[in-house]
Structure 1
């Protein structure tokens, strides 16, 4: 599970500071895809960066399971990302010289407290991961030989290689047409349920809304609306997201 508790983030702005995330509380529950949407500059990406432990909030808490990432060192945050968080960026960011299989296998080479165990874990289920994202038999292809949708599938498999409990995804359909985008969103939804990951997904494209279990709307750094597939909505729902 991932939980932001009253998190605030500011950036320098001339002589003062600008608030990017304003007392945000949210919970990403296991097996649930929680979408985050809002206008450009609303704070969506800053929320995702906090969740990814890439930056630390000015105040509040960022819980990854039982660890408060707002209170740990940079090195400990790096270890936390490597071991418990999977990240899919807006662009697939694949390495041009590596095959799809090698893109996933490289996740076993990131070191850590038990590097050998990590390497064994990743290599033991590379083919299963590629199959799960619809790329069975495509493991020997390099990025230039894959379509945009296939490259994004490789990126998803790579993010899941170390079996993270939290999956963070930034605009996964932005470079895809509507059909391919729908396929990627349905894939994320299925894998989240099958693997019981807590998935936060930033998106501006609500045509794929049916693939989200919950949707948070962010305006000026604040969550203004929280809707679910069951139709419950309202800012009050977002105010107490820790209830499961």
Structure 2
């Protein structure tokens, strides 16, 4: 689960400061896809950066399961991110020289995993490539894959350490409508199958059916909420 508890984020602007995220509280439970939408410059990416622990809020708390990320050191935050958070960016950002399978396996090397953990990662990599429909393409490099296939690899890579939280930024922005719909359906399927708490930034509400809930942000604040009643109660009861 991920809970943003009254988080505010500002940036310097000359002699004053601009508020990018304005006192937002939002909870995303396991096996739930929370969509975040709003106009350009509304604070969606800043909110996702806070959720990813890439930046600390000016005030408020970011809870990843039962850990308050805002209180951690830089080293502790990096470990939390590596072990519990998967991130999918707008662009797939794959390493050109690595095959689809190697894109996933390199995460074990970067994480400094033990030999036993690496064996588990290898098994999970094959499982994930099968889950995203790329088993037959596991030996191909990014240049040999379509845009949709590269995004599937990026999703599998983000899940290879079995994170409890998945953060996705505009996953369909570089895809046509058909491929975009396939990616959204895949994210929804994997979220529910693997009990991941997923926050997903999108500008395309044509994929609304793939989301379990949706909040709209304008000028850094939530202005509209389309979330099941039982989840609203959960958010109200969160920290």
TM-score by length of 1: 0.93
How much has 1:110 moved relative to structure 2?
1.9
How much has 1:137 moved relative to structure 2?
1.2
CA distance in 2, matches of 1:71, 1:44: 23
Equivalent residue number for residue 11 of structure 1:
11
Decide whether the 8 Å contact of 1:82 with 1:110 is kept in 2: no
Decide whether the 8 Å contact of 1:216 with 1:238 is kept in 2: no
Any gaps of 5 or more consecutive residues in structure 2?
Answer: none
Any gaps of 5 or more consecutive residues in structure 1?
Answer: none
Equivalent residue number for residue 218 of structure 1:
217
How much has 1:127 moved relative to structure 2?
1.3
CA distance in 2, matches of 1:239, 1:46: 25
Runs of 4+ with >2 A deviation? 114-118, 237-244
Is 1:241 matched with 2:235?
yes
Equivalent positions of 1:122-201 (< 5 A) are 122-201=121-200
| 1:103-148 superposed Cα distances (whole Å, 9 cap, x missing partner) | 0111111235x53343222112211110101112110000000000
SS class of match (2:70): helix
SS class of match (1:57): coil
SS class of match (1:162): coil
CA distance in 1, matches of 2:131, 2:191: 12
Equivalent residue number for residue 204 of structure 2:
205
CA distance in 1, matches of 2:88, 2:116: 23
SS class of match (1:79): helix
Question: Alignment length, in residue pairs?
Answer: 237
CA distance in 1, matches of 2:125, 2:232: 38
How much has 1:208 moved relative to structure 2?
0.5
TM-score by length of 2: 0.95
How much has 1:242 moved relative to structure 2?
4.3
SS class of match (1:27): strand
Q: 182-191 or 127-136, which moves further after superposition?
A: 127-136
CA distance in 1, matches of 2:61, 2:107: 28
Equivalent residue number for residue 33 of structure 1:
33
